[in-house]
Structure 1
Amino acid sequence: MTTKLASFTINGRAAYGAITDEGVVDLSARFGTRWPTLKEVIEADALGELVAAAMEMKADIAVDEITFEIPIPHPEKIICVGVNFPDRNEEYKDGKEAPPNPSLFIRFPRSFTGHGQPLIRPPESPQLDYEGEIVVVIGKGGRRIAEKDALDHVAALSLCNEGTIRDWVRHAKFNVTQGKNFDRTGSIGPWLVPFTDESQLADIKLETRVNGEVRQNDRTSRMIFSFRKIINYISTFTTLVPGDVIVCGTPTGAGARFDPPIWLKPGDVIEVEADGIGVLRNMVEDEV
């Protein structure tokens, strides 16, 4: 059985625990003085210890009593990969082959919300779009990590809806930062699945649905840049540290690619699903 570790709030208290068929095992109530958040668990290389402890415990809380938060609170870095599936490259219609290195940009933690929470459409633009992606969380830090060693540095997997305000990614001559960082336009979660071996990533199905309609559907084996390459490349120019979040690229089929475009609107429900990880679900609301 896959162990699922989530960050959440309950009655105003920040917490973390294991999500089971019976409910939520409140691990922070037992280990919080030792590891205040899942970030400290990862820094201590203690996910295995936490999972083993959870398997011996009964649920304390019903899942519907908690509010899911992004799994790693306050990560030092959230680095996102753009244009990482072949059909996505073709969407640009510029006649160019896939580039030799990944396109990257940074997102801030405040631009994400947790599973089951609303994505917020800001008043500045109606062009809220979805992008379903796989997340890897770094467990062992490093610089200039070799591709052959890259997966040894992964602690856990999660999912991301890398929500984007499309017209704001072209708000200036050369940047995407603004359109990628409106508060609570994206989500990460629902939980972390501890990483054990490459089969968890090598060829898994990644699908995004809007109101039950499949919009994105591809497999990680078709990624232009492998998870190993992404970690190798990023660690060339910046030191990766435990708890860093890497969002690894989305398949074709985002709303911007329809003719005419189909933007998310209040009431829409978006689900991002990947084999062995789970389903990340959010609705859409307007900012008030």
Structure 2
Amino acid sequence: MKLLRYGPAGAERPALLEQDGTVRDLSEIIADVDATSVTPEVLSRIADRDPKTLPVVAQPGRIGPCIDGVGKFICIGLNYIDHARETGNEAPIEPVVFMKATSAIVGPDDDIVQPRGSTKLDWEVELGVVIGTKAKYVAEDRALAHVAGYFLANDVSERAFQTEGTGQWTKGKSCDTFGPIGPWLVTADEISDPQNLRLWLEVDGVRRQDGTTANMIFSVARIVSYLSGLMTLHPGDVIITGTPAGVGQGMKPPVYLRPGQIVTLGIEGLGEQHQTVVADAT
């Protein structure tokens, strides 16, 4: 299934996308796409309902973040060897973990707002994972059973904030609008192999990233297992799993985003995002 949320920011409604592109409102079954509705029991209840019996959403308008009420927004850095090398790093020997503020989350086509003082605004297409069942000390061969589904993410980054000051990467990863997710939460049964998905990103129509999740250093299963040994993962927690080569920081010379530019990205089977970069007007 492809689950989504539509409507104005803060007032989104849950919906289902049929194979023919019809959007069906899910409000009769769930209040929202959130931690309470990504469990196996609720997903099964949605799947058992004949979508033809649900109201059609003729004009969904804005598409919101594909899940609401995210508990933890966990990120994996340097998880593609080509990306690690383009940024001057060696391949990590274990997953590099950092957090992104949940207040950074926005819809897939919402604007990217360049914050005050930003000079090195960058892009990163990533595969996202939604946890569906509690996971603690999970073996790698059982880790994917705890995944409710997958989504497309742009790990927007401000490189000067991230690496040129003191402290952790979180500072350059957590600004408002730095976490576009969606358009859909695609349930795990539709993704036969998360390590065989093409992902790409363009800036103003120029292809900057073009890779495959087959080149991850640490697989989704390995990441979920590893994280479950550090912290308990709960339904509604999300993980983004790293980006392939082609970020602005890695170009020679580096190239960064400017207001007015358009960022387009996608992952096979998970849809596309389209964002306009704007200056912070507050």
TM over 0.5: yes
Counterpart AA for 1:106: M
Matching residue within 34, 50, 57 for 1:61: 57
Q: Could you say which residue in structure 1 is the equivalent of 2:5?
A: 7
Q: Could you say which residue in structure 2 is the equivalent of 1:49?
A: 45
Q: Distance in 1 between matches of 2:9 and 2:125?
A: 30
Greater CA drift, 70-79 or 10-19:
10-19
Matched, 1:82 2:80: no
Change in Cα spacing, 1:6 to 1:90, as seen in structure 2 (3 Å) is same
CA distances 1:67-86 after superposition (whole Å, capped 9, x unpaired): 22212212110100000111
3-state SS in 1 of match to 2:108: coil
Whether the 8 Å CA contact 2:8–2:64 is kept in 1: the answer is no
Counterpart AA for 1:41: S
Matching residue within 114, 122, 143 for 2:107: 114
Q: Could you say which residue in structure 1 is the equivalent of 2:218?
A: 225
Q: Distance in 1 between matches of 2:186 and 2:206?
A: 26
> What is the correspondence of 1:154-165 to structure 2 with a 5 Å cutoff?
154-165=147-158
Structure 1 runs of 4+ with >6 Å offset: none
Q: How much has 1:44 moved relative to structure 2?
A: 6.0
Q: Could you say which residue in structure 2 is the equivalent of 1:276?
A: 269
Change in Cα spacing, 1:31 to 1:259, as seen in structure 2 (3 Å) is same
Q: Could you say which residue in structure 2 is the equivalent of 1:25?
A: 24
CA distances 1:3-26 after superposition (whole Å, capped 9, x unpaired): 321122259733110134454211
Q: Distance in 2 between matches of 1:49 and 1:82?
A: 35
3-state SS in 1 of match to 2:249: helix
> What is the correspondence of 1:59-208 to structure 2 with a 5 Å cutoff?
60-63=56-59, 65-94=60-89, 96=90, 98-196=91-189, 199-208=192-201
3-state SS in 2 of match to 1:252: coil
Change in Cα spacing, 1:92 to 1:256, as seen in structure 2 (3 Å) is closer
Whether the 8 Å CA contact 1:6–1:71 is kept in 2: the answer is yes
Change in Cα spacing, 1:70 to 1:36, as seen in structure 2 (3 Å) is closer
Aligned length: 280
Whether the 8 Å CA contact 1:139–1:241 is kept in 2: the answer is yes
Change in Cα spacing, 1:24 to 1:116, as seen in structure 2 (3 Å) is same
Q: Could you say which residue in structure 1 is the equivalent of 2:231?
A: 238
Q: How much has 1:102 moved relative to structure 2?
A: 0.6
Aligned-residue identity in percent? 31
TM-score for the superposition, normalised by structure 2: 0.92
Counterpart AA for 1:14: E
Counterpart AA for 1:39: A
Whether the 8 Å CA contact 2:143–2:221 is kept in 1: the answer is yes
CA distances 1:59-117 after superposition (whole Å, capped 9, x unpaired): 52234x432221221211010000011101212335x4x22211011011211210211
Q: CA RMSD in A?
A: 2.0
Change in Cα spacing, 1:283 to 1:51, as seen in structure 2 (3 Å) is farther
Greater CA drift, 173-182 or 47-56:
47-56
Q: How much has 1:174 moved relative to structure 2?
A: 4.0
| Structure 2 residue runs without a partner (length 5+) | none
| Structure 1 residue runs without a partner (length 5+) | none
Whether the 8 Å CA contact 1:271–1:280 is kept in 2: the answer is yes
